[in-house]
Chain A
Amino acid sequence: MESLKFDLSDGGVRPLNQYLHGPAAGLEGKHITVANPDGAHNIAVGMNAPVKVTVEGHAGYFAAGMNKLADVTIEGSAGTGVAENMMSGKVHVKGFASNSAGASAHGGLLVIDGDAGLRCGISLKGGDIVVGGSVGSFSGFMAQAGRMVICGNAGDALGDSLYEAVIYVKGAIKSLGADAQIEPLGDADITALTALLSAAGLQHDPRDFKRVASARSLYHWNADANQEY
């Protein structure tokens, strides 16, 4: 695999991003290493090619934002909005992730080995998120489609105003959000969990997870609902 190194201490993210926006044919199969990221924002945003990117340290806001096709590994932690609005591909955070990890992701797989902050998977639109640790409050807020797997605990208001996304939690749920409910695990859930955990490289028994999905009571205006939403 052809390798190329970008040192962010020398020139910042612009040369890196411009390179990554080159023709897909020229990028396919390449491995790009990002040295000295030091929490820089907007590392490797808007990729549109099956390229491999390794960030050798901590990333700032919106790392791998709107990713398509690329396979990104962040060896440190990631700031707010890692893999936000991802369309496809994979983003793997080996450390922790801050707020809004995987926000509005339409596709692809986001794996966070550590914990994730507030609003993980907010407005999720079809992407998959696997968190090895715990997630903060308001995770899965208004999530429309896709799946979240949380191997640790969840904070307050998990899955508030959920649409059709499904959240699996192994640990404790501090509280459920409006319209979220715990449902029994079905065979399809076990299959999904097995595949997602395997894709994330995590060892857990799928049967230990709880399924959280929408009760769908907020799908239509209701004069008698006392407007608790």
Chain B
Amino acid sequence: MSGLEELAADALGAALESGASDAEAYAQEGEGIEVRVYEGEVEALTESAERGVGVRAWIDGRAGYAFGTDLSTDGLRGIGAAAVEAARVSDSDEFAGPADPAGTELEEIAGLSDSGLAEWGTERKVDLAREVERAARADSRVVAIEDTIYADASQRVAIASSSGARGGYESTSCYSYARAIAAEGDGDRESGLGFDLARGPGSLDPGAIGGEAADRATSLLGATKPESRTCPIVLDETVAASFIGFIGGVLCADAVQRGRSPFADRLGDEIASAALTLADDGLDPGGPASAPFDGEGTPRRRTPLIDAGRLTTYLHDSYTARRAGNGQASTGNAARSGYRSAPSVSTSNLVIAEGAKDADELIAEAGDGVYVTDVAGLHSGVNPVSGTFSVGASGRRIDDGALAAPLSEFTIASDLARMLTAVQASGRPARWVPFGGSVKAAPLLIAEMAIGGS
């Protein structure tokens, strides 16, 4: 047992001693670095280290949570006592309790850690960030690079619960991004983001990241506002990821059971066109959220969500599975954003099945419409309960099946249910995008959506 697994076991013991009838402890530690480069120089270099424990305690169906970073014997006792105290405030819930891992083996997943990360010194990481910035500057219309960032982290996680969950794993991750600003003539300025993520820096392509930032910014130069109308829309993979992430959220059983999903009572129905197939995959080593087990010790797995348009399941943690009844098991979707928060149901990695056509072919199929390359205001512009949305967007006009003039300052509006049934085709290639959670996203052709402009 690793030191961290021992720590989780000790924290579990402390919570049980404080009077919890059931408990679960989640321990996490990690180190990371963030490099921020500006005009070829290091602007900021951050070294981080952290270690903490979060404890869930149950007393007769009442649940409470506490976390802390004082990991001494007294500190763990304090965290356990605080979790028990929190539980006493809560109302009893017959479905509350730790996950039941009975009969499941926590299997290791190959590829969560890149051993190459350890071989990269700080100077080499700084050079990578510089190369990203240089690549973004290669286009003379790019006048500034607002931020160029490289960051990585190694983390270790361990869990222990009174229902027998025991396990630990380690993983590494890194990402880099740049935001380029392009200008032409007087006044017209556009910005563009380029990014990539991987398990280790050796898998990042700095030229491609910088180049994407420059391309996205310069391709919008001279943008005008389109006329308001309803037309075919092609979403690029980053925009598709944002929307699909939202859809993943309302397919979580928590939202469904509490009556906050537009897809409640739709299990087995055709909720999307046959062109859309979507899975939640917690095992793909390329997916940032992949792990041997979820935030409460249930093995992660691959769950088909929408199969050629048909809704096959909702996503569950142990609580929503018990509440659903009918032998429903957790789908391993208890997510944590670290030890500071209790787990809740969330997507792991969403994967949109690729279609046969690439983006150019989808654009050709659209004929006359709009290619959307960026959306803004998604968190305020989508009503997750009703599914209606109106968000800010920018992109390119599609004329006669080809990309034409750039467009900005317009809105696209529809509702999630209508958008899903209007998916005409999924494209290729799919790419990992860290928006909307974590989504391996492909471009999507939507038959019809409302554009709000002039």
A and B from one assembly? no
